[in-house]
Amino acid sequence: MVAMIREKEIAAMSGIPMLLLTLAGLVAGTLLSIRGAPLIGAPLLVVFSLALCGFFMVSPNQAKVLQLFGDYVGTVRSPGLRWANPFYSKKAVSTRIRNFDCERLKVNDLHGSPIEIAAVVVWQVRDTAAAVFEVDDYEHFVRIQTESALRGLATRYAYDLDENDAGVALRSHADEVAIQLVQDIEARVGDAGVHILEARISHLAYAPEIASAMLQRQQAAAILAARKRIVDGAVGMVEMALARLAENQVVTLDEERKAAMVSNLLVVLCSERSVAPVVNTGTLYS
């Protein structure tokens, strides 16, 4: 198995002193060539002209990967004007924090329902040597592996959970899903020297062909949940009313009248419309 190339930071020479020396050498070589000493002036001009190729600029949050005839020499991270061997090739690699929006993907969730999902990923190059030498194009590599991780994540979780289901759902457990997505992407792009800072789902919806049916299902579930709460509250109020009547000995009701009272109270409390009151001018038994 071929060993992976890892970053080796090196210190390049400051460019300012070398720039002054190079300019002085070019001036001296020019003067010597003009004043009759071309055997000395010409080599000076060649040497210091070649030295000009060794200058390079490193911006903040940027690195330069140095190679000599195909061999990795090291990485320069110190910002400013730098000078190195003129025969070194110098490739710039940005170490700034970057982000991109993964395009919408259409996949099936854990229950087989087609959904649309997209994510926003924040990432940064940590190992410049791995980013340059281990993959062909690390930016394209991150995008492709993010798409693969997002597809895999969507198939492992359900879009939503029923009331009695346990576990993690894409819609209701955003933080847990985000942590898992970061881990999945990191596992795929770590060899490319890339670190994932954050990844979150930016779009989540049922696919258009089932969106209407799933909306009806959600509405039905919401109605059932509301009805259950109303009934639970109404039963509690009826129990409290019967208990208070018996405790305070306001009226004594047999089982038949209790059943009638319970029925009337539940109708009043659970009805969607206002109930018209009926005044009984007789007795409870007429």
Give the helix/strand (H/E) hosting 180.
Answer: helix 174-189
Statement: 98-206 belongs to CATH 3.40.50.920 = no
247-262 average pLDDT score: 70
Q: Is the pLDDT assigned to residue 279 strictly greater than 70?
A: no
Take residue 105 and report the two structure tokens written for it.
Answer: 């993907």
Per residue in 185-204, pLDDT (tens digit) is 999 999 899 999 999 999 98
Domain boundaries in the chain? 13-94, 98-206, 211-270
Query: Which of residues 245 and 89 earns the better pLDDT score?
Result: 89
Asked which of 87-96, 115-124, 133-142, 252-261 is least confident by mean pLDDT, the reply is: 252-261
pTM value > 0.85: no
Distance of alpha carbon 144 from alpha carbon 154, whole angstroms: 16
In this prediction, residue 229 carries a pLDDT of: 79
B/e letters for 184-221, b = 16+ CB within 10 Å, e = fewer, are: bbbebbeebbbebeebebeebebeeeeeeebeeeeeee
196 backbone dihedrals φ, ψ, rounded to 5°: -90, 120
In this prediction, residue 32 carries a pLDDT of: 83
Q: Is the pLDDT assigned to residue 3 strictly greater than 80?
A: no
* Nearest Cα to Cα of residue 210 among 119, 118, 111: 111
In this prediction, residue 1 carries a pLDDT of: 52
